[in-house]
Amino acid sequence: MGVMVVGSVAFDSIRTPYGEAEDILGGSATYFSVAASWFAPVRVVAVVGEDFEDRHLQVFQSRAIDTAGIERAPGRTFRWRGEYSQDMNEARTLETQLNVFEQFQPKIPPSHASTEFLFLGNIHPALQLHVRRQLPGATLVAADSMNFWIVKTPRELAQTLKAVDVLIINEGEAKMLSGRQNLRQAARAIQAMGPRKLVVKRGEYGVALFNDGDAFSAPAFLLDEFKDPTGAGDTFAGGFMGHLARSKDLSDANMRRAVVYGSVMASFAVEDFGLRRLLALTAEDIESRVHQFIRLTHFDV
Rounded distance between C-alpha atoms, residue 275 and residue 272, angstroms: 8
Instruction: Give the CA dihedral 113, 197, 168, 238, nearest 10 degrees.
Output: -50
What one-character DSSP code corresponds to residue 193? T
Residue 231: CB minimum distance to ligand AMP, A: 5
Contact between 28 and ligand AMP per CB under 6 A: yes
Contact between 125 and ligand AMP per CB under 6 A: no
Q: Which is nearer to ligand AMP, 97 or 292 (CB)?
A: 97
Contact between 173 and ligand AMP per CB under 6 A: no
Contacting ligand AMP (CB under 6 A), which of 232, 244, 260, 286?
A: 232
The type of residue at 156 is E
Contacting ligand AMP (CB under 6 A), which of 66, 173, 234, 272?
A: 234
Residue 179's contacts (CB-CB under 8 Å, 6 or more residues apart) are 189
- Measure Cα distances from 69 to 5, 47, 76, 165, 283 in Å: 10, 8, 18, 23, 26
Q: Which is nearer to ligand AMP, 80 or 226 (CB)?
A: 80
Contact between 239 and ligand AMP per CB under 6 A: no
Contacting ligand AMP (CB under 6 A), which of 5, 8, 52, 267?
A: 8
Rounded distance between C-alpha atoms, residue 216 and residue 210, angstroms: 7
Phi, psi of 297 (to 5 degrees): -110, -5
Contact between 26 and ligand AMP per CB under 6 A: yes
Contacting ligand AMP (CB under 6 A), which of 2, 27, 239, 242?
A: 27
Rounded distance between C-alpha atoms, residue 89 and residue 230, angstroms: 10
CA atoms within 13 A on the CB side of 174: 30
Residues 44-103 that bind ligand AMP (CB under 6 A): 80, 96
Contact between 238 and ligand AMP per CB under 6 A: no
Residue 294: CB minimum distance to ligand AMP, A: 25
Contact between 263 and ligand AMP per CB under 6 A: no
Q: Using CB under 6 A as the criterion, which residues of the chain lie in contact with ligand AMP when the complex forms?
A: 8, 10, 12, 26-28, 80, 96, 122, 230-234
